[in-house]
């Protein structure tokens, strides 16, 4: 054979190359087969990473709410001031936080000067009434004489005029008395309604100025929550709907929608919802005007899918669940969370018939194989 190849040098070189190429190709094919077989064995040898139980999303009737933020304010805050000037404040009977009744005297000014004015007005009324009585008697005598000719026309007219003038003077004196009595009443500052004193600017010994503010009163101790909602959400809110709001003290207060503003704020594009806060013993204790509060407005009932909280995994700032696929593999599915109650969480983004890993999601990764147990 070698002699034959030696006699054919060109052909021998070509043949060697061909044999080498065939040998390399055979090795590559063998390696591919071995690698494929190894991969199949590896797949067959894959073991479950976790033993899990499954749960299906639960369809429930869930109260639908609109979340909102807003401020707690006084339902109505009365400004209590003085209408009289030039008098000294000599008595203060109310402090900030005091509960007062309608008509209760909160402060009093020195009324000696006004008392003198009232006495003078009363004396003037008595004087004019006496003058009226005399003028009336004279006029009555003139009427009795009639047209007998005993009195001239001028005398008769004069008697009637004096009577009319005396009546006018009596009315004027009584008006002055009423004015003095009104001023006397103004020396006492009284509560216009039941409520809580929220502010006091009155200072003992200060001289009054007309229109000066002395107190502020939260009428009837009544508070309201002014919640801001979007224009779209406002269409779902109706008068009378129940509201729950959490105040900074940690207490949850109850309320009722009283009114929805008819206009939209051009700056924020939000709508104000006025909520009456239910009055209780803690009013103006747990909630105070000026507080910021978060709340939920109940707008009805609706169907929702819910999963146990243990089935939801928060990862990278998103909520995820693991859904069982073919071959006992799990797939990570991102969901959107909604309301929470009684250990259940509302979820969106998962099918109603999905089989979800009930617990242990934190130990799983997308594509893991699991062992399923039935409870």
Tens-place pLDDT, residues 160-216: 899 999 999 999 999 999 999 999 999 999 999 999 999 999 999 999 999 999 999
Q: What is the CATH number of domain 67-75+221-300?
A: 2.40.30.170
Instruction: Say yes or no to pLDDT of 40 above 80.
Output: no
Instruction: Say yes or no to pLDDT of 311 above 70.
Output: yes
Instruction: Say yes or no to pLDDT of 47 above 60.
Output: yes
Q: What is the pLDDT of residue 296?
A: 93
Q: What is the pLDDT of residue 32?
A: 52
Question: What SS3 state is found at 320?
Answer: strand
Lowest mean pLDDT among 39-43, 309-313, 315-319, 326-330: 39-43
The string over 2-16, giving b where at least 16 C-beta atoms fall within 10 Å of a residue's C-beta and e elsewhere, is eeeeeeeeeeeeeee
Q: What is the pLDDT of residue 340?
A: 81
- 149 or 45: which carries more pLDDT confidence? 149
Q: How confident is the model at residue 250 (pLDDT cuts 50, 70, 90)?
A: confident
Q: How confident is the model at residue 42 (pLDDT cuts 50, 70, 90)?
A: very low
Pick the CATH number of 50-63+303-372 from 2.40.420.20, 3.40.50.11260, 3.30.70.120, 1.10.1740.10: 2.40.420.20
The string over 240-274, giving b where at least 16 C-beta atoms fall within 10 Å of a residue's C-beta and e elsewhere, is ebbbebebeeeeebebebbebeeeeeeeeebbbbb
Q: What is the pLDDT of residue 45?
A: 46
Question: pLDDT digits over 2-11, tens only?
Answer: 444 344 444 4
Instruction: Say yes or no to pLDDT of 1 above 50.
Output: no
In CATH terms, the fold of domain 77-216 is Helix Hairpins (1.10.287)
Lowest mean pLDDT among 23-37, 182-196, 335-349: 23-37
Q: What is the pLDDT of residue 217?
A: 95
DSSP H helices, the chain, are 2-7, 9-44, 112-145, 153-186, 231-234
Six-digit token string for 67: 């979340």
For 231-239, what is the mean pLDDT?
93
Question: What predicted TM-score, i.e. pTM, was given to this entire model?
Answer: 0.62
Q: What is the pLDDT of residue 282?
A: 54
For 334-354, what is the mean pLDDT?
88
- 305 or 281: which carries more pLDDT confidence? 305
- 51 or 26: which carries more pLDDT confidence? 51
CB 90 within 8 A of CB 110: yes
The overall average pLDDT reported for the chain is 85
Question: What SS3 state is found at 193?
Answer: coil
d(CA 149, CA 236): 90
Q: How confident is the model at residue 44 (pLDDT cuts 50, 70, 90)?
A: very low
Which whole-number Å values give the CA distances from 11 to 3, 15, 17, 86, 249, in the listed order?
Answer: 13, 6, 10, 136, 100
Q: How confident is the model at residue 155 (pLDDT cuts 50, 70, 90)?
A: confident
Q: What is the pLDDT of residue 281?
A: 59
Q: What is the pLDDT of residue 122?
A: 95
Instruction: Say yes or no to pLDDT of 273 above 80.
Output: yes
Instruction: Say yes or no to pLDDT of 228 above 70.
Output: yes
Cα angle, residue 360 at apex, residues 52 and 331 outer, rounded to 5°: 75
Q: What is the pLDDT of residue 20?
A: 52
């Amino acid at each position: 054979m070698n002699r034959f190849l030696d006699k054919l040098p060109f052909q021998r070189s070509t043949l060697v190359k061909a044999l080498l190429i065939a040998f390399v190709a055979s090795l590559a094919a063998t390696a591919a087969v071995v690698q494929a077989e190894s991969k199949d064995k590896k797949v067959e040898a894959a073991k479950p990473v976790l033993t899990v139980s499954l749960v299906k999303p639960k369809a429930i009737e869930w109260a639908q709410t609109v979340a909102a933020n807003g401020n707690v304010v006084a339902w109505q805050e009365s400004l209590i001031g003085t209408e009289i000037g030039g008098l000294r404040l000599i008595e203060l009977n109310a402090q900030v936080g005091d509960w007062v009744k309608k008509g209760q005297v909160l402060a009093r000014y020195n009324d000696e000067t006004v008392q003198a004015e009232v006495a003078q007005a009363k004396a003037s009324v008595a004087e004019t009434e006496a003058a009226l009585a005399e003028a009336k008697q004279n006029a009555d005598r003139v009427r009795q004489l009639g047209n007998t000719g005993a009195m001239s026309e001028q005398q008769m007219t004069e008697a009637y005029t004096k009577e009319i003038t005396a009546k006018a003077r009596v009315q004027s004196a009584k008006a002055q008395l009423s004015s003095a009595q009104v001023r006397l009443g103004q020396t006492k500052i009284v509560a216009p309604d039941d409520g809580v004193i929220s502010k006091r600017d009155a200072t003992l010994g200060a001289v009054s100025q007309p229109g000066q503010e002395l107190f502020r009163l939260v009428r009837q101790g009544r508070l309201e929550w002014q919640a801001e909602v979007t224009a779209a959400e406002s269409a779902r809110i109706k008068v009378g709907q129940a509201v729950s709001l959490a105040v900074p003290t940690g207490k949850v207060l109850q309320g009722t929608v009283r009114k929805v503003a008819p206009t939209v704020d051009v700056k924020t594009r939000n709508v104000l919802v006025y909520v009456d806060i239910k009055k209780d013993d803690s009013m103006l204790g747990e909630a105070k005007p000026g507080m910021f509060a978060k709340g939920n407005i109940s707008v009805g009932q609706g169907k929702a899918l819910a999963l146990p909280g243990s089935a939801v995994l928060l990862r990278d700032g998103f909520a995820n669940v693991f859904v069982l696929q073919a071959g006992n593999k799990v797939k990570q599915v991102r969901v959107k969370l909604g309301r929470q109650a009684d250990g259940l969480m509302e979820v969106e983004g998962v099918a109603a018939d999905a089989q979800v890993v009930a617990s242990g999601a934190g130990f799983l990764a997308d594509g893991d194989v699991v062992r399923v147990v039935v409870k």
